[in-house]
Amino acid sequence: DAGVIQSPRHEVTEMGQEVTLRCKPISGHDYLFWYRQTMMRGLELLIYFNNNVPIDDSGMPEDRFSAKMPNASFSTLKIQPSEPRDSAVYFCASSLNQLSGYTFGSGTRLTVV
């Protein structure tokens, strides 16, 4: 298995632009997570899905952030409009079931200038 695949690895965009981050979870994993990592706030859970359904989005910082999972093999995290304070590494992770550990993707380093 190729693991959790995220794209792009790096994204530099101008303030106000729309940014879309992509994730392909491990096949057969029922859970998908989006985390954000910054020096100030560490690792924060933004949202997670179970069987493609969003379960908890309480960590999504504001309405500018949205996430979708149209099928079991693909998810997106969109920021519109982006702001410099959104600069962070965004990780996608998946897990087999409720009790297993996560497998993380390599992350997307987002820089908003």
- 18/56 with CB nearer other proteins: 56
Site string for other proteins, 51-90 (x = CB under 8 A): ----xx--------------------------------x-
Our finding on whether 31 is near other proteins (CB under 8 A) is yes
Q: For the residues of the chain, what is the DSSP string, one character each?
A: ----EEE-SEEEE-TT--EEEEEEPPTT--EEEEEEEETTTEEEEEEEEETTEEEE-TT--STTEEEEEEETTEEEEEESS--GGG-EEEEEEEESSTTSPPEE---EEEEE-
Figure out which of the listed residues 48, 67, 82, 86 binds other proteins, where binding follows CB under 8 A. Answer: 48
